[in-house]
Structure 1
Amino acid sequence: MRTIQIVPWKSEWRDYFLHEQKLLELETGEAENNIFHIGSTSVPGLAAKPIIDILIETSDLSWWIMDRLEGLGYTGKGEHGIAGRAFYYKGKQVRRFHVHVFEKKSDGSGRHLALRDYLRSFPTKAKEYECIKKQAAAQYPHSPSEYMNEKQIVVQKLEQEALCWKRAEEEN
């Protein structure tokens, strides 16, 4: 049984991402896809589960990318609760990486990137999110689905704020 643990932010998370990004670029085609570090581990100072979230934007969600990710040791979980996404994880007992594959310019992709940039730009919002994550992990340390449900309202609120902020930034 996996235990949900929120730990202080670590600078080496960026290095872990960069290493995995290189493997993913070699396997999936650097020119064809955009690969981003997302999630809490991508926000300096934000405590997080020690799992690196990676977003791959691709022009085609076809089977070939699935085979390539599985060749790197990833396990596919289908959409896993988010329409238009292909979700993968790496690590059996201890998960190290989550990969979220979306089509380029999709709403899902834009939402993840906007939230990352928003939390990086507004540390007080990141701390608010951190507080909710710690409370949820303490309340549901062995139930990933309950942990996610507990955070969901705050995440949706932050995503909406992030998307409004992103639109305003693009207009200026």
Structure 2
Amino acid sequence: MARIQESERGAIVVDEIELRDFLPESKLANDEATYIVFRFRNIGRTSVRLVESKVQFHLATEMVEPPDYGARPLNMTGQILPQNESLFRMYRLYDPKLPHARLPDVTYDLITSTNDVFLVLYGYIRYVDAFGTRLITGFGYQYSALASIFSKRSEFQVYGSDAYNYTKKDRR
């Protein structure tokens, strides 16, 4: 029975991460904020019931361990994500050192001119599968300027250790 549950279990991934109007020059006005759009996608064979998520999108000079997810989770209780379905999310760029960070304050040139500063997206999502098992999936991504130049769209690559990228039973 355990093998059947494993093969049928719902599973969440984060993909289709996009920074709009960022490459190579901003098309945003000075009073517009920088946002990232991505999706939680259920790649499993059964529906999942979402519980909560925490997401961070900011400038960084390193990925600290353990990850600092911030104080307040987004309550997702009651949301169902069926098999092969997606839930899109949008988050605003922030940085504690740059109040109301926005383009052109955070520019493509800033990100590409140094290896010291980069954009990161990381977080987790808690959910319950169809068999009642509580799971948590963590994710970590870094903006890749080089890959973005070649693809002509914003590219994020998996980044961070197992402290950021995981799926495990949630003991909470």
Higher relative contact order at CA 8 Å, sep ≥6: structure 1 or structure 2? 2
TM-score by length of 1: 0.25
More helix by share: 1
Normalising by structure 2, what TM-score? 0.25
- Rg (Cα) greater in structure: 2
